[in-house]
Each structure stands twice: as structure tokens, then as C-alpha cells.
Amino acid sequence: MIRIDYAAAREGVQLAYQHRPGRGPTLMFLPGYASDMSGTKASALADWAQRTGRASLLFDYGGCGLSSGDFEAQSFRDWLGDALYLIDHVVPEGPILLVGSSMGGWLMLHLAIARPHRVTALVGIAAAPDFTGWGFTLEQKAQIARDGRLEEPNPYGPEPTVTTRTFFESAEAHRLLHVEIPVDCPVRLIHGMRDSDVPPQYAAELMAKLRSGDVQTILVKQGDHRLSRGQDIDLLIETVSNLLD
């Protein structure tokens, strides 16, 4: 049985997390939008960390997965605060290697900016910084502003994907690609060339904007947005392992 702990990060929200102590930097996984720590990539990374004696930290954002809270009341700022809370209170000492999937790749940049003395490396999986700017049509943006929410079919599950005005406006206030991104640690960006949700061009744009001189983009020719095939997981673990070594 995997032990799940809870942290009272903010009023009305108990954050579910799974922390396994170990050697070296703590591997902290940041899920994508409306995703959680039970996903294939997060589970595979935590299992590898356990087998190799590495420290790891998985968690669910407020309103997602096993964490309490109303999903539609959550903002980008709330989820950034959730991640910062866990860094400061669950693993308050030692280096951290962040692995961010899709929206988690946007959050990991803000975490590296906020805690530069703690974050030693970043690995983005189909990282999607600023997706509120380029990921919605003008009509969809207008609907969010007018109705307060947008509901779309979810290609990855039975429940529709809901984007609220609360989340959208908060995320817009945290956009990064318009300026140099003050991150100086090593960064690896893994991106599928068949990613229809986050076009690979945004990996190149992010690479150009990062201040760090140690940035590599790894393109997977047959990879889609999820990058959850066996060979994709192997590539992720190899990339993380090389950074740790």
C-alpha cells in the first residue's frame, strides 16, 4: 500500500501527497491541468526513485485527485502556492529536481524562479507555458470571459475539461514567454513531434527564452502529448538519471 499524507496548505484545502525519503535531490512531479499523481509518468518516476533509493514527492493540486477543494474555484496562483507549500514544509531542506508535465512545466518555471536556491534542475514533458495565450481561440476566450467557464470534450477521459475564468485570469497574470525567464539551472525539455495540444514550436520558444546556458530540447518523432509509452517513460527516466549523475 502506498501511504498518502495530507497537508493543510490553505483554508478549505487538504493537499494529498506521497513523500518517500531517499538520497540525492528530491524528485518532485508536477501534474498537468486537471491531472493527478496517479498518472503513468508520475507513478513510473516514483517507482524508479524507490528502486534506486532516491527521494521523491508526488502530490495533487487543490481540487484534483485526492486533494480536497472545489476544482472550479482553483486558480493558477492557488496551484503554484500548493507546490510552494510542499517544498517549504514537506521537504524544507535539500535540493529539488522538478519534473513538470504540460501545465506542470509552466508551474516548474515559476517554482525555479521563486526558490532558486532549492531547485537544481528542471525536466519538462510537453511543457506548456502561457497556454492560456495560445491554446484557446478568440471565441473560446470570449466564452470564458462572458460565461465564467468553458467546457470541452476531454480526449483523455470521460469527464469534460472545464476551464474557469478564475483559473484563466490568474494564469494570464503568470505568463512568462514575453521576457527572458530568469532560470539558471540545467533544463531538459522532452517534447513529442506529434503533440497536437502543445505544438513543438513552443519547446523551441521556451528554450530561447530561458536564461540558463544548459538547456536541451529532446524531440520524440512519434511522441504525442502524453508521452506515456514505454519508450517515452524510459527516455524520461534516462533524462532524470543523467541530470542526477
Residues forming the active site: 102, 195, 225
Q: Three cell numbers at 208?
A: 530561447
For residue 164 the three cell numbers come to 474557469
Query: Please, are residues 229 and 190 in contact by the beta-carbon 8 Å criterion?
Result: no
Beta carbons of 31 and 37 less than 8 angstroms apart: yes
Strand 119-125 with 149-152, pairing:
unpaired
Q: Per DSSP, which regions of the chain are E strands? A: 5-10, 13-20, 23-30, 54-59, 96-101, 119-125, 149-152, 161-164, 187-192, 215-220
DSSP letter for 222, please: T
